[in-house]
Amino acid sequence: DTGVSQDPRHKITKRGQNVTFRCDPISEHNRLYWYRQTLGQGPEFLTYFQNEAQLEKSRLLSDRFSAERPKGSFSTLEIQRTEQGDSAMYLCASSFSGYEQYFGPGTRLTVT
C-alpha cells in the first residue's frame, strides 16, 4: 500500500508568480486535507475534501489560495500571486472517513 505522495517536493518561485501543488492520497481514502507548516510551528489546517466536495476551508485562508479535487482522487492546491509570507511546507494528508490522517512528505515552497 503506497502512502500519500506530493509533487513537487520543492518549489522556488518569484513573488507574484502562481504555483500549483499536487497530492495523491492513499487509494482507498475518501478524505483529503491540506495543511501548511512554518518553521518551529505545528501544521495549520487549510482545507479538506470528502470525495470531490470541499467541506471546510480555513477562515485564515486568503482568496489567493484555491484547492480542487475534481474526481475525488488527487487534489491540487494553487496559490496565485505568491508573497514571501507564503513560504512554508505544504502538507497533504488523507484518511478513510475521518479516522487517523496519514501525511505525505510535503512540498516546500520558497518565495523569493
Partner 1 sequence: AQKVTQAQTEISVVEKEDVTLDCVYETRDTTYYLFWYKQPPSGELVFLIRRNSFDEQNEISGRYSWNFQKSTSSFNFTITASQVVDSAVYFCALSEARTDKLIFGTGTRLQVFP
Q: Which residues bind partner 1 (CB under 8 A)?
A: 31, 33, 35, 40-45, 48, 55-56, 58, 89, 91, 93, 95, 98-106
Minimal distance in Å, beta carbon 104 to partner 1?
7
Minimal distance in Å, beta carbon 54 to partner 1?
12
Look at phi and psi of residue 72 and say left if phi exceeds 0, alpha if psi is from -120 to 50, else beta: left
**58 vs 73, beta carbon nearer partner 1:** 58
What kind and span of H or E run contains 50? strand 44-50
Grid coordinates given for 62? 486568503
**2 vs 14, beta carbon nearer partner 1:** 2
**56 vs 83, beta carbon nearer partner 1:** 56
- Order across the sheet with 19-24: list the strands: 5-7, 19-24, 75-79, 65-68
Minimal distance in Å, beta carbon 79 to partner 1?
19
Residues in the chain: 112
